[in-house]
Amino acid sequence: MTTATGDELVVLQDVHFGYDPNHVLLRNIHFRVRRGQVVAIMGGSGSGKTTLLRLICGQHAPLSGSVRVMGKDLGRFTHAEKYAVRRRLGMLFQFGALFTDSTVFENVAFPLREHTQLPESIIRDLVLLKLNAVGLRGAAHRYPAELSGGMARRVALARAVALDPELILYDEPFAGLDPISLGIIGQLIRRLNDALGAGSVLVTHDVTESLDIVDYVYFVSEGGIVAEGTPDEIRAATHPFVDQFVHARPDGPVPFHYAAEPLAQALLGRAQ
Amino acid sequence: MMDWLVTPLRHIGARIINAIWRLGFILRFFAALLLVSGQSFTRLHLTLREIWFTGVLSLSIIMVSGLFIGMVLGLQGYEILQRFGSGDALGIMVALSLARELGPVVAGLLFASRAGSAVTAEIGLMKATEQLQAMDMMAVNPLARVAAPRFWGGVISMPLLAAIFSTAGVFGGWLIGVVVIGVDHGSFWSQMQASVDFRIDIVNGFIKSVVFALAVSLIAVFEGYDCHPTAEGVSRAITRTVVQSALTILALDFVLTSFMFRGLS
Ligand SMILES: Nc1ncnc2c1ncn2[C@@H]1O[C@H](COP(=O)(O)OP(=O)(O)OP(=O)(O)O)[C@@H](O)[C@H]1O
Ligand SMILES: [Mg+2]
């Protein structure tokens, strides 16, 4: 954990963000990822995890605070510089976002074809290797519509890492996976990160599985980071939020409901 | 008190302002599209693929429609010309109506509903399923990779389709006029050749079809790119493409015609 500051891939400092400037969704976010680290973001549904990833990849600009990725301030990037950073960045979308008109093979080959001049035979080998790593080499000729949700997600993962990125963002890579694939994909994320010497950010709900493979965890709730630490610290933590999350208790500080008037009021209000 | 007057006025005003905003957006989009078009021409296979999808696959509907329009022109034209005793001029009438008006306009309308709507649907669905975003995240500009090839594919194929439409129409007119009704074969063609002017009729018709092609392709690509990323949003965008393309073609046709053919002869 004590690497030099030059190894910091992502640094968010005092970031505030809201899709609507009047409605701040994330506040006082301090967040960092170092080279070689796998960092998890956990938190309830709708707490802003995906939003945080969008900030890191420069899809949205923060209202205030700074987002530095690979040593450069994303807020001051031109379009071309942003693309230069994104070329070194892999992103797994929460809903896969595969190209539905291309086969699995072409989906994974897409970044290679767009950004490299590699001959076809090498592209073919690279794609098959990536597909093999997610266990789907046999599905190379299929179309995304013919895959199950979990398979599509694994293809998206293969595509996200096709260019051997330095920073990989995974939005819920484990959703829709059975326990066996889940374990394999978890290990894959860890091994990939170590082999590439990259940094990874992992948004996930699978607390126990991810605690085994990550180096650091951030808990997001109600627009802020409420707890952070190494997996050991997290397991030992007494913070009510972390305790509730790690042990999946229904009652605690995490609200299940999206902010709204009380149910009784909503129902009675209609009756009046 | 004046509500009955103010409310509708406000409504109309809002719609007009909205329309102007939208026009501004479209033009800005057009500028952005032209800016990245250089990239997509260096990768010609993308545009060729779109020419295949929008152009080649529209061939059958264009040819069949052209043939029927020509056949109707043959019937109606002969009936009218016959009243003035000039049934032999049928060739002129068929060829001029097709080259000057019907070719570009009807081919444009067919193209908008056959290919324009498909382009809007395709781009809209890609947007709704985050595919455009995913491309953007992979440092591939969706404007250059998705929008520009489809735009140029349409711009290139539509004038060619209009020409094919007119050709099929002339053939249809000949079929009815000469083969069925019995107009003299020789005078049908020779009068046509003598009266159709390359510069005035063919080139002007071609210019029309190029302008329509630019308009329809721009509308189709823009609507797809701009739609709400939902099922309903996509379906609305498709409707807008077809309606706006049709209105734009007809309005532009009037403007172009009044410049091109005003005060001729
Ligand atoms: N494009 C958007 N425009 C406006 N609001 C949005 C947008 N995307 C998300 N939100 C809102 O921002 C909040 C956080 O959304 P986000 O997608 O970041 O949640 P999340 O933590 O990823 O949830 P989940 O675990 O369910 O994926 C939600 O309340 C959502 O309604
Ligand atoms: Mg999310």
pLDDT string in tens for chain B (265-residue length):
678 888 889 999 999 999 999 899 999 999 999 998 887 778 888 889 999 988 888 899 999 999 999 999 999 999 999 898 888 889 999 999 999 999 999 999 999 999 999 999 999 999 998 899 889 888 889 999 899 999 999 999 999 999 999 999 999 999 999 999 888 888 889 989 898 888 888 999 999 999 999 999 999 999 999 999 999 999 999 999 999 999 999 999 999 999 888 766 5
Q: How far is CA A252 from the centre of its chain?
A: 25
Q: How many Å lie between the alpha carbon of A16 and the closest alpha carbon of chain B?
A: 22
Is the CB of A204 inside a 6 Å radius of any atom of ligand 1?
A: no
Q: What is the spatial distance between Cα A54 and Cα A203, in angstroms, rounded to a whole number?
A: 12
Residue labelled with tokens 């042990």: A247
pLDDT confidence of A252, banded at 50, 70, 90? low
Smallest CA separation from ligand 1 atom 1, residue: A19
Q: What is the spatial distance between Cα A191 and Cα A194, in angstroms, rounded to a whole number?
A: 5
Task: Indicate the SS3 state at residue A38.
Answer: strand
pLDDT confidence of A251, banded at 50, 70, 90? low
Q: A160-182: per-residue pLDDT in tens? A: 988 888 899 998 888 777 888 88
Instruction: Answer for the pair B236, B214: CB distance below 8 angstroms, yes or no.
Output: no
User: Which residues of chain A are within 8 Å of residue B52 when distances are taken between CB atoms?
Assistant: none
Strand partners, A168: A90, A200
Q: A224-242: per-residue pLDDT in tens? A: 888 888 888 877 777 777 7
Determine the Cα angle at A235 with ends A33 and A206, to 5°. 70
Q: A74-119: per-residue pLDDT in tens? A: 777 788 888 888 888 888 888 878 998 889 999 999 999 888 888 8
Task: Indicate the SS3 state at residue A217.
Answer: strand
State residue B95's pLDDT score: 93
Residue A60 exposed, middle or buried by CB count within 10 Å (0-12, 13-18, 19+)? middle
Strand partners, A67: A12
State residue A179's pLDDT score: 83
Smallest CA separation from ligand 1 atom 22, residue: A50
State residue A36's pLDDT score: 87
Which of A95, A93, A86, A106 has its CA nearest to residue A165?
A: A86
State residue A173's pLDDT score: 85
Q: What is the spatial distance between Cα B157 and Cα A91, in angstroms, rounded to a whole number?
A: 37
State residue B253's pLDDT score: 94
Which of A164, A1, A168 has its CA nearest to residue A69?
A: A168
Quickly count: other Cβ atoms within 10 Å of residue A24's Cβ.
Answer: 14
CA distances A125 to A95, A108, A115, A133, A140, Å, are 27, 11, 16, 12, 12
Which of A203, A145, A136, A196 has its CA nearest to residue A166?
A: A196
pLDDT confidence of A244, banded at 50, 70, 90? confident
Residue labelled with tokens 């060739």: B91
Q: Which residue intervals of chain A are DSSP H helices?
A: 49-56, 79-86, 104-115, 120-133, 149-160, 179-196, 207-213, 231-236, 240-246, 263-271
User: Which residues of chain B are within 8 Å of residue A99 when distances are taken between CB atoms?
Assistant: 126, 131, 134
Instruction: Answer for the pair B132, B232: CB distance below 8 angstroms, yes or no.
Output: no
- Smallest-distance ligand from the CA of A170: 2
State residue A2's pLDDT score: 40
Smallest CA separation from ligand 1 atom 26, residue: A45
Is the CB of A47 inside a 6 Å radius of any atom of ligand 1?
A: yes
C-alpha B254 – ligand 1 centre gap (Å): 49
User: What was the ipTM of the complex prediction?
Assistant: 0.78
State residue A4's pLDDT score: 45
State residue A185's pLDDT score: 84
Number of helices (H), then strands (E), belonging to chain A: the values are 10, 10
Task: Indicate the SS3 state at residue B108.
Answer: helix
> Mutation test of ligand 1: which of A15, A19, A27 has the most ligand atoms closer than 8 Å to its C-beta?
A19
Q: Read off φ and ψ for residue B223, nearest 5 degrees.
A: -60, -40
Which of A255, A256, A253 has its CA nearest to residue A239?
A: A253
Instruction: Answer for the pair A142, A105: CB distance below 8 angstroms, yes or no.
Output: no
Q: A124-145: per-residue pLDDT in tens? A: 999 998 898 888 888 888 998 8
Q: How far is CA A225 from the centre of its chain?
A: 16
DSSP A140-201: TTS-GGGS-HHHHHHHHHHHHTTT--SEEEEESTTTT--HHHHHHHHHHHHHHHHHHT-EEE
